[in-house]
Structure 1
Amino acid sequence: MVQADSPAAAAGSGPPESEPGGRLRALRRRLDPWLEPRRGWIVATLAVLLALVLGFHADIPNTVGNLGSLLETFLPWLGLALPVLLALALWRRSAVALAAVLLPAVVWANLFGGLLTDKSTGKGDFTVLTHNVAAANSDPAGTLRLLNDSGAQIVALEELASGAAQTYGKGLAAKYPFHVVEGTVGLWSSYPIQGVSVVDIKIGWTRAFRAEVTTPKGPLAVYVAHLPSVRVNFDGGFTAGQRDVSAQALGDAIEAEPIKKVLLMGDLNGTMNDRSLAPISAQMRSAHGAAGDGFGFSWPAAFPMARIDQILSKGGLKPTDSRVLAADGSDHRAVAADYRY
């Protein structure tokens, strides 16, 4: 009868775990599940798809329900999928899935990581503010307090319902002696206003105009606009055709502006990621993108999910700060920016 020569031989070949070779074998046993290529392949596939959507969002067509524009409106929110994918990769104990999750994480950080830092550089020469005050504003008095306390020298208001222009005119007169209202949009200023002209944005009534504001540093062409609303529904998808036509018309008007320094303020019903605003965004700089802190979401006021209220400039105007104000009686939040002329 053959007997085992030692306890180690009886237990199997190889050194015990207390010895270096044994510890290496134990480590390999622990790592084996993580290195199994078939584990976590579903998570890895989802991560790669997310990276492709983030990286090539501009190539997603708008031909079906304006899917590309809808995606771009809420593009930053795709980052919420990252911790979910990471948790699934850890649960599956898959190194392949973990490596794959890094791909969309890097792409998302490249797209939006810069928004997470405070880029403000201090006070400018003047402050501007834009606010869709909402036709159904539940607290106009509160909105007037917010505007008067904002410290802005130039204020643009959108969605001025019938009679609201008079209310805001009286409530802002002490601080803003110059103002103009065209249709449902208006401009209030501490500086003189002249050269007002309506901008035809192809909707059949007035929701945009241009004015020249004479600041202490020099002239400034100010455009105030409220582009048509967009809709999300099951029948038509993301309905934004009229908004897109108006964006092109507004972009053409700004491109033809003879004054070098131009400011655009208003509710554009679109984010700077939305390709359909390219006629505007391609020639202008976002104050929040250049000098803001965070995403600067402005709508809906109760739980902001997108920045559709914009302050844009060109011609050498330098934004030094950008911020979102507290909620008031509107369904939008006001946004403000400081500029150096």
Structure 2
Amino acid sequence: MTGRRDGLTPRGRRARRRAGRVLAGLALLTALLMLLAGRIPNRVGNPGSLVQTFLPWSGAAVLVLGGLALLRRSRPGLVAVLVPALVWGLFYAGTLRDRAAAGGAGALTVVTHNVDDENPDPAGTARALAATGAQLIALEELVEPAAGRYAEALAGAYPYHEVRGTVGLWSTYPLTDTRAVPIMEWTRALRTTAQTPQGPLTVYVAHLPSVRVRPGSGFDTARRNAAAGRLAEAVRGGPAGRTLLMGDLNSTTGDRAVAPLMSQFRSAHDAAGAGFGFSWPAAFPVARIDQVLVRDLTPLSAWTLPATPSDHLPVAARLRP
């Protein structure tokens, strides 16, 4: 007999205490990681950017630690798990609610989609995007002969379109002063002006380079960061006033490595979306790297669209001009 109602032997109680200490340590470490994510250096392997990209998933770690603490019946572990749970709630509780604004008469609906250069059904993808009724549709990863199929499928509803390199914009409004924006060796960004009923709207469509996690070098973001810096300079030197940036930026809005670009805009999803709005990969989205960013426009709502044959989900937003 142990003389204790828990029925554990002395060795079992020691094991429970050790498990409780380990769980408590991991819980406090998780809380520190969330609180200090912005200060993790990016000098070697960009761990700061990696943590900031996937920081919302720290909530999954909190759930796992809480479950283990319950399984081990560890009171210290359960108490310690409350710390990262509160931190996560402080950061993200507001993200879980629907932030859409009321109204919207005369609102502008926009869609952006990395259609995937291996998309087997360009026409079907184009029809699905057009069915949203958006006035502006930005597409990335346009390659021939698929680019011609997108243009053909969208021609009826979108009489105006511009393509530069592998990015394009389809519009119900006239487009003027279109030019390529040099952000890398080949053209993956454009700037144009949509002549909306509320006046000219500067529109950028961009596809920043992909990032990779590589053995030995960590989170490889150098090419993306350089392209984001060039795009930031182009926007800074471009027209003032109402501006819209859409595209696959291969970055979340929270990654400080692309702050020179993100700081010039407001995220439509952060302002008026519901939930995290993860867009990639389409089969099981873990990050929102497809963005609708605005300046001098008011986001009313933002959402992801149903999957197409692409590896990205389309994202949409309604904006008050």
- The question of 1:47 aligning with 2:27 is answered yes
Q: Which residue of 110, 121, 131 corresponds with 1:149?
A: 131
Partner in structure 1 of residue 8 of structure 2 = none
Q: Equivalences for 1:18-167 in 2 at 5 Å?
A: 40-122=20-102, 124=104, 125-167=107-149
- Picking from 155, 160, 169, the partner of 2:151 is 169
- Mark the runs of 5 or more structure 2 residues left unpaired by the alignment: 6-12
CA distance in 2, matches of 1:123, 1:42: 51
Write the distance in 1 (CA, Å) between the matches of 2:282 and 2:87: 29
Computing the radius of gyration over CA atoms, which structure comes out larger, 1 or 2?
1
Amino acid at match of 1:174: G
Contact residue 39 and residue 93 of structure 1 kept, 8 A: no
Checking the alignment, whether the CA contact within 8 Å between 1:196 and 1:209 is kept in structure 2 is yes
Does 2:176 correspond to 1:194? yes
Matched residue SS, 1:115: helix
Separation in 1 of the partners of 2:259 and 2:79? 35
Contact 1:298 1:307 in 2 (8 A): yes
AA at the equivalent of 2:98: D
Q: Is the CA contact 1:327–1:333 (under 8 Å) kept in the aligned structure 2?
A: yes
Shift of 1:39: 6.9
Q: Matched residue of 2:70: which SS?
A: helix
**Rounded Cα–Cα distance in structure 2 between residues aligned with 1:166 and 1:92:** 60
CA separation of 1:38 and 1:67: change in aligned 2, threshold 3 A: closer
Question: Could you tell me which amino acid in structure 2 is paired with residue 263 of structure 1?
Answer: L
- How has the CA–CA distance of structure 1 residues 261 and 40 changed in structure 2, closer, same or farther, with 3 Å as cutoff? same
Partners of 1:302 and 1:98 in 2: CA distance: 34
Deviates more, 1:90-99 or 1:101-110: 90-99
What is the RMSD computed on CA atoms of the aligned residues? 1.7
Quote the residue 1:15 is aligned against.
none
| Contact 1:291–1:322 under 8 Å retained in 2 | yes
Q: Paired residue for 2:292, among 290, 293, 311? A: 311
Does residue 182 (structure 1) correspond to residue 164 (structure 2)? The answer is: yes
Equivalent in the alignment of 2:10: none
State the percentage of identical aligned residues.
Answer: 53
Amino acid at match of 2:289: I
Name the TM-score, length of structure 2 as normaliser: 0.91
1:268 and 2:259 matched: no
* Distance of 2:42 and 2:59 partners within structure 1: 22
Counterpart in 2 of 1:296?
Answer: 277
Instruction: Name the SS of the counterpart of 2:126 in structure 1.
Output: helix
